[in-house]
A and B are shown apart, each in its own frame.
With several copies, the nearest count.
Chain A
């Protein structure tokens, strides 16, 4: 299941819903991305007071659905969930939730890792940061590309 929304989400409620009524599920792995108050690439010097996430309506949903389908092809998952927010967010705010549920711990953990890695390189979102020196578009990290290629 995928959702692209401006509003915040409730992690506990989302994970409960993922497993609800399915006692085959033995494990739920999840990753939550939060807005940091600094830029990792800038060495942590640059304070970030807010983030604006732009996306490509239509293609975003299409890509997230493809990524989710790929995870289902690769692992025995009973359920998967991707929620990604857009709009203006402040440090500590939730950006993204990926979660996977499976009878098997290893499948849930690997698929969750896979989903966030693929999402980073394949979902059409762009971040712009508000810093003391003005607005700045975040640049893609080489590590993200490498992480994505590791799953081929």
Chain B
């Protein structure tokens, strides 16, 4: 299945792109699995996602926890805690 990935703020800067379409292996079923898969790609991904405690995730534009399912066609955004206002 493929998902649309979005990166923001320093995660975007460290990964080096703002978005990508990615084909996920069938073993990836939830957010935790997706983050592990991204880290396993190594390089900039492993570096940017080294400390997952400062990483937030939204699926289809809603904040979700790590056990939230990830399905084909989802829009998954990965970013640090927000600092607007």
Verify whether A and B have any Cβ pair under 8 Å.
yes
A-side interface residues toward B, CB under 8 Å?
Answer: 33, 53-56, 58-59, 62-63, 84, 95-96, 105, 116, 119-128, 137-140, 144
Given contacts A126-B79, A126-B80, contact A54 B85 (CB under 8 A): no
Q: Is the CB of B61 within 8 A of A126?
A: no
Q: Annotate B1-12 by CB proximity to A: 1 below 8 A, 0 otherwise.
A: 000001011101
Q: Nearest Cβ distance between residue B79 and chain A, in whole angstroms?
A: 7
Q: Is B43 an interface residue (CB 8 A)?
A: no
Check A55–B58 contact: CB distance below 8 A.
no
25 contacts between A and B (CB under 8 A): A54-B9, A54-B12, A55-B84, A56-B6, A56-B8, A63-B61, A95-B84, A96-B85, A119-B85, A121-B82, A122-B63, A122-B82, A123-B82, A123-B85, A124-B77, A125-B82, A125-B83, A125-B85, A126-B82, A127-B83, A137-B9, A137-B10, A137-B83, A139-B81, A139-B83
Chain B's nearest CB lies how many Å from the CB of A34? 11
Q: Min CB distance, A86 to chain B, in Å?
A: 9
With CB as the reference atom, state the residue of chain A lying closest to B61.
A59
Residues of B within 8 A of A121 (CB): 82
> A53: which B residues are within 8 A, CB to CB?
84
Q: Within 8 Å CB of A84, what residues of B?
A: 84-85
User: Distance (Å) between the CB of B67 and the closest chain A CB?
Assistant: 20
How close is B61's CB to chain A, nearest CB, in angstroms? 4
Residue of B nearest to A119 (CB): B85
Q: Nearest 3 CB-CB pairs, A to B?
A: A125-B84, A126-B9, A140-B81
